[in-house]
Amino acid sequence: EDVATQDGLLQRIDARVKLVTLLGLLVVTALARSVVVLLVVYAAVLALGVASRLSLVFFLKRVWLFVPMFTGIVVLPATLNVITPGTIVVPLGTWFGHELGITSEGLHGAAIIIVRVAVSISLVVLLTLTTPWTRLLAALRALFVPKVFILVLGMAYRYLFHLLGSVTDMYT
């Protein structure tokens, strides 16, 4: 909420416009098949974050804390020639008489998935950091998202803070 009330570029834009634009950019990100295109979109997201007066280090930590941890682990097996056949660039030895290694095709596919996830998470983080929660819920309602979904989101958001408070009390 503190970041959302600052005077930045995205903070001045209506939440409905940001939400529709986010959805469009998420579709572009999902359909992009080139790492270069995804990196250009990611650079634009970072530029929007800086123009919105977000700390770049704070923003990058929020995104890249989870991307390598989850997506990297999930995509790692796809880099092996057992899953993705191709030219081996990093030999890892043999396994039951077959050569095992990381392929260039597997690395390319893994890079696309990791950058795609990073761009998608960055877009969502950028939206949530630059839009007050009440305006975001109102924008979802204006775009005809079912009321039950919005109520569940609102309750989950509210009870998240109650849960954090309870955990803090138990810890102290």
With cut-offs at 50, 70 and 90, classify the pLDDT of residue 103.
Answer: very high
Contacts of 105 (CB under 8 A, 6+ apart): 84, 85, 86, 87
Cα(89)–Cα(103) distance, integer angstroms: 5
pLDDT the model gives residue 68: 75
pLDDT the model gives residue 4: 80
Ranges 2-11, 30-39, 101-110: which has the least confidence: 2-11
Ranges 45-59, 62-76, 133-147: which has the least confidence: 62-76
Angle at 45 between CA 38 and CA 152, to 5 degrees: 100
pLDDT the model gives residue 140: 92
Q: What is the pLDDT of residues 113-142, one digit of tens each?
A: 999 999 999 999 999 999 999 899 999 999
Model pTM score? 0.84
pLDDT the model gives residue 161: 85
Residues 151-169 as b or e (16 or more Cβ within 10 Å = b)? eeeeeeeeeeeeeeeeeee
Q: What is the pLDDT of residues 8-55, one digit of tens each?
A: 888 999 999 999 999 999 999 999 999 999 999 999 999 999 999 999
Percentage of the residues of the chain whose pLDDT score is greater than 90: 71
